[in-house]
Amino acid sequence: MELLRNFFFLLALYLLQGSNTSFVRLDNNGYEGIIIAIDPAVPEDETLIEQIKDMVTAASTYLFEATEKRFFFKNVSILIPEKWKNITQYKRPKHESYKHADVLVSPPTLPGRDEPYTKQFTACGEKGEYIHFTHDFVLGKKQNEFGPSGRLFVHEWAHLRWGVFDEYNDAEPFYSVNTKKIEATRCSTGITGINRVYKCQGNSCVTNKCKIDSKTKLYQKDCQFFPDKYQTEKTSIMFMQGIGSVAEFCNEKNHNREAPSVQNKMCNFRSTWEVISNSEDFRNTVVMVAPPPPPVFSLLKISERIVCFVLDKSGSMANSNRLNRMNQAAKHFLLQTVENGSWVGMVHFDSTAYIKSNLIQIISSNERRKILKSLPTVASGGTSICSGIQSGLEAIRNAYFQTDGSEIVLLTDGEDSSAKTCIDKVKQSGAIIHLIALGPNADQAVIEMSKVTGGEHLFATDEAQNNGLIDAFAALASGNTDASQKSLQLESKGLKLDSNGWMNGTVIIDSTVGKDTFFLITWNQQLPVISLLDPTGKSVGNFSVDSASKMAYLSIPGTAKVGAWTYSLQAKRNSETLTITVNSQAANSSVPPITVNAKMNKDTNSFPSPMIVYAEILQGYIPILGANVTAFIESNTGKIEVLELLDNGAGADSFKNDGVYSRYFTTYKENGRYSLKVRAHGGENAVTRNLRHPLNRAAYIPGWVVDGNIEGNPPRPEIDENTQTNLESFTRTASGGAFVVSNVPSLSSVTDVFPPSQITDLEATSDDDEISLTWTAPGDDFDVGKVRKYIIRISGSILDLRDNFDNALQVNTTDLLPKEANSKETFTFKRGNISEENATHIFIAIQSVDKSNLTSKVSNIAQAALFVPQADYMPDEIPPGSSPDKNPPKSRLSISILVVLVVGAVITVSLILSITICVLSRKRNSSRPRTGF
């Protein structure tokens, strides 16, 4: 029995590598299971489906050639919104949903923002989240600005699948190389073009030379690189795949390691092909001989939600108040979370299973209350998980529904050695299994069912004050419902209280939510005194009390008032446990609500490997900055670790100000399951919407150079960052699911195994002979604590510093005292012995050392200019439609002639004077002896 249990536990660990929700798999060089989802907000247009097919078909051929005949797209599912009309060829999805989509086709993030991008916030070589296309881009309306859609899909696929980055950098579009010339950031340098300022007003466009910024010694920010339209260079797809000749990724031989590209910064100067070649995909394939077949497409249309509860009522559910807590959480789900129009049924199981309610469609509160009566009231018997699942599928079929795409919410607190016997049937059914594991002994083998079917794996302990069970059910909102129709969790808190103890707090309802606002109070022994005040201070009462389930709830009619709602709960019994949960929906379907999504970077881990917590805060697709975000990680026994998550671009956080808040998690105390919950709070005048262009987006082509002339594209819509407005206060909570940790040593045997995190935001500026550095302090253990010292080294060669850091010139850091992790560090030093004759820039890197002499990875490499580089020469202005050599206007021609005449006269006079002086000098010194060295 123990051997069998360990086998399935290891199998689950294997299946749970990584927490990316994609179903893409590689089979005989072909990618299968790709999901392209059309957002419900996209207007119905069957042409869009055909354009998606054309895009993927063209991309498959381009990908095959770009990867040296290794990869192609084999089959793709296109997810069609529920509101689009029904067509016979549309099928019902199985596990395919918006949550698992690899590509989202939706309206632009902001009006005019049609740039394709990939949501990518993990390290180099790790998979991204999803690709975002607008429907106008897919329909071919933005080809001039971004290039053919098939080629661009391959660019974004490389982000998504292989974790490579762009070989340009809008933040650092130019750099200076050893030739002392300013170059555009690109790969490879074989891509030709010119650097110009190109501005249009109405129908008139003017081209000017680029001016040099006095601080950076590079071109000012209005300068752009315009590529020649006709080229012969084949690399690189991650720079500008829209160039006709580009058909390959940069490799080790032609990669530009000097450019400050995002790829160089994130991947330690490795080329994209080096990263791709090191991927698991590459290792598991061989070069194909014959060309691949075209992709096969499946058209899947979202339909009504079908959910069947399969609830454990075995004898162990009588322990630790589990049965009643399960009923409280299930009632909250039925009253508040499950969407109108859904079909819901219920099955109980112990040693056998019982269908307690066939599927009922939720139309009003009447159907919700009817299903509530089917919840179990007595715990007894054994545990037969497969019986429960099979009865759940039977209940679905009894209502004449397909099991494809239906959902089973399985809650269990025990182990069942026979659970493995129905795994194949579950796969064949097409149903989605959501596992809620309650307590420390819930069956491990069922994890496989949830993983392979696209379901959630959630976990709650017996510590009721942590509210984990209600959070788990609340996390099961539909993956295919628009955010404006979902129930969002604003608050989830609990406390253990002594006699006459109080639980007080506030819940903020912001203007993006307020519809169907729902307050839920639970207790363990006796109904507490409940006080709730709205933002005006008016008392709000009339809670509905369910004494049997020990819960009270209140629905606010209409739209709740915006502001802080204050609650006070007074316990009437000793050692009482109270919880409060608050949910609400979007106030206006046309205004996206603020949402929080949480996850770990892995679903399973083995000590001492660190994990990373991620929480993303968005309004629609727009990142929210400046929030206070806290992660609560609960272990198998109910112990909680609290982490402040940061969006500072340091430590575990890959990109600053992208709305993704991150932190390392290393404080494992025990083996087994852990659960994640995140709480986000935005204070008034502290949080903003990030209106900048998204990161990891396709390069916008400003125009082409043809026969020396710039043929410009319409300017990219720009928004001044300073025009961003502050958001009002808000609160949100979100469950991040469960994960499993193994091989945790006992506390007595733990040694320091965690080094400081890598510094990734080192910046340098130069002023005369001094270099000033700034960076974010790492910690003794990744991003916690304080390092013992810093090692700073410099070089005149970026590659020498990267490859031979330990041999580079070391800077004296005796006076540099490290600060606590996540503090801002500054340091200034003299430039030293690097001369301007030998180098154009000084390159600097840092390594951190902790108290156990563990060293961090070498930081990103910063650079400081030593001189003003050479700028491109061109006349001050070129009128539209002409080049420097053709048809200059009369006014500029006369100025040019005048300049030539003046310069010629000066040269002539200077030459005559020089000859005269030379002749006279020879006459005077003809008899003087020669001297010299």
Does the pLDDT of residue 568 top 70, yes or no?
yes
Structure-block tokens of residue 864: 């400081």
Does the pLDDT of residue 927 top 50, yes or no?
no
Distance CA 240, CA 436 (A): 46
Distance CA 187, CA 210 (A): 21
Distance CA 99, CA 850 (A): 41
Beta bridge partner(s), residue 810 = 793
Q: Are strands 72-73 and 688-689 parallel, antiparallel or unpaired?
A: unpaired
Q: How many CB atoms neighbour CB 101 within 10 A?
A: 24
Does the pLDDT of residue 725 top 80, yes or no?
no
The pLDDT tens digits of the residues spanning 466-498 come to 999 999 999 999 888 888 889 999 999 999 987
Exposed/middle/buried for residue 366 (C-beta within 10 Å: 0-12, 13-18, 19+): exposed
Phi/psi region, residue 129 (left: phi>0; alpha: psi -120 to 50; beta: rest), is alpha
Q: What is the mean pLDDT of residues 299-309?
A: 95
Distance CA 597, CA 564 (A): 23
Beta bridge partner(s), residue 407 = 307, 432
Q: What is the mean pLDDT of residues 732-736?
A: 96
Lowest mean pLDDT among 178-187, 527-536, 554-563, 918-927: 918-927
Q: Which residues are catalytic?
A: 156
Residue type, 612: I
Structure-block tokens of residue 873: 């020469």
Four-residue CA torsion sign, 447, 450, 451, 456? negative
Q: Identify the band that residue 109 occupies on the pLDDT scale cut at 50, 70 and 90.
A: confident
pLDDT at position 36 is 98
pLDDT at position 904 is 53
Comparing C-alpha atoms, which of 132, 117, 112, 138 is closest to residue 48? Answer: 138
Distance of CA 483 to the CA centre of its chain: 18
Q: How many CB atoms neighbour CB 749 within 10 A?
A: 6
The order of strands in the sheet holding 770-776 is 763-767, 770-776, 824-830
Higher per-residue confidence, 447 vs 206: 206
pLDDT at position 10 is 32
350 contacts 385 by C-beta, under 8 angstroms: no
pLDDT at position 720 is 57
148 contacts 138 by C-beta, under 8 angstroms: no
Structure-block tokens of residue 666: 């290393």
Residue whose pair of structure tokens reads 């080790």 in the numeric block? 252
What the chain holds in terms of domains, given with CATH numbers, is 14-164+277-301 (no CATH), 310-443 (3.40.50.410), 463-591 (2.60.120.380), 605-687+727-742 (2.60.40.10), 763-865 (2.60.40)
This prediction's pTM: 0.89
733 contacts 615 by C-beta, under 8 angstroms: no
Q: Residues, the chain, total?
A: 933
Q: Identify the band that residue 911 occupies on the pLDDT scale cut at 50, 70 and 90.
A: low
Residue 280 φ then ψ, to 5°: -65, -35
Between the alpha carbon of residue 649 and those of residues 122, 614, 652, 785, the distances in Å are 11, 13, 8, 18
The pLDDT tens digits of the residues spanning 822-840 come to 999 999 998 766 654 556 6
Q: Around 560, how many Cα atoms within 13 Å sit in the side-chain half-sphere?
A: 31
Mean pLDDT rounded to a whole number for the chain? 88
866 contacts 766 by C-beta, under 8 angstroms: yes
pLDDT at position 17 is 36
Does the pLDDT of residue 930 top 70, yes or no?
no
pLDDT at position 748 is 59
432 contacts 405 by C-beta, under 8 angstroms: yes
Structure-block tokens of residue 754: 């965690």
Does the pLDDT of residue 900 top 60, yes or no?
no
pLDDT at position 535 is 97
pLDDT at position 298 is 97
875 contacts 889 by C-beta, under 8 angstroms: no
pLDDT at position 294 is 97
Q: Identify the band that residue 870 occupies on the pLDDT scale cut at 50, 70 and 90.
A: low
Listed in order, strand segments (DSSP E) in 386-538 are: 407-412, 432-438, 457-460, 488-497, 502-509, 513-523, 529-533
